[in-house]
């Protein structure tokens, strides 16, 4: 059980590090985020919050399994968002009224915490390469990694273990 909680902690910490790196990129290197970038920040923060809730509040096998399942679902959503950003949105002149833009503005995230969720660039302008790879692809890779780890954690917890907890 300790190992499973450690895995969830690593997933949560990795998600927080992704947001921290995005904030450093934004404020130190002037890489302004688009709506899809901000939407992915929200997904990373949600994954981190769920993981830490699973570790500290629901440490049973069932709680860890539910947390890993939610993390997997959010990772799939992140994969979809990152793929859409790199393949579709990055080739359009504007992200205005996209799903990501509507999500962020309707929740009021951009007004409540503009330093974290402010949308300051179009998707085409936010196309920035880091170590030869666009930022959106780095996020896609990380979401795939988080999803794979969540899947491995779910496979490790057998149905009989979950049912008996």
Taking the C-alpha atoms of residue 16 and residue 68, their distance in angstroms, rounded to an integer, is: 17
* Closest C-alpha to 119, from 29, 24, 26: 26
Ranges of the chain whose pLDDT falls below 50: none
Per-residue model confidence (pLDDT) at position 89 = 76
Taking the C-alpha atoms of residue 71 and residue 68, their distance in angstroms, rounded to an integer, is: 5
Is this prediction's pTM over 0.85? yes
Give domain 2-157's CATH architecture. Answer: Up-down Bundle (1.20)
Per-residue model confidence (pLDDT) at position 142 = 98
Pairing between strand 133-134 and 129-130?
A: antiparallel
71 in Cβ contact with 4 (< 8 Å): no
Per-residue model confidence (pLDDT) at position 12 = 98
Could you tell me the residue ranges of all domains in the chain?
2-157
Per-residue model confidence (pLDDT) at position 101 = 85
Per-residue model confidence (pLDDT) at position 123 = 74
pLDDT in tens, 4-17: 999 999 999 999 99
Taking the C-alpha atoms of residue 37 and residue 40, their distance in angstroms, rounded to an integer, is: 5
Taking the C-alpha atoms of residue 149 and residue 7, their distance in angstroms, rounded to an integer, is: 8
């Amino acid at each position: 059980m300790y190992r499973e909680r450690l895995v969830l902690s690593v997933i949560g910490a990795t998600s927080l590090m992704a947001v921290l790196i995005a904030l450093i990129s934004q404020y130190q290197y002037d890489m302004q985020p688009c709506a899809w970038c901000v939407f992915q920040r929200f997904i990373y923060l949600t994954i981190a919050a769920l993981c830490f809730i699973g570790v500290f509040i629901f440490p049973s096998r069932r709680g860890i399994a539910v947390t890993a399942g939610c993390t997997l679902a959010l990772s799939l959503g992140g994969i979809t968002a990152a793929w859409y950003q790199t393949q579709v949105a990055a080739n359009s002149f504007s992200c205005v009224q996209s799903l990501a833009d509507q999500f962020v503005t309707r929740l009021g995230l951009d007004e409540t915490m503009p330093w974290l969720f402010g949308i300051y660039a179009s998707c085409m302008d936010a196309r920035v390469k880091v170590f030869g790879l666009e930022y959106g692809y780095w996020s896609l890779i990380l979401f795939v990694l988080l999803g794979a780890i969540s899947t491995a954690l779910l496979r490790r917890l057998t149905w009989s273990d979950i049912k008996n907890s």
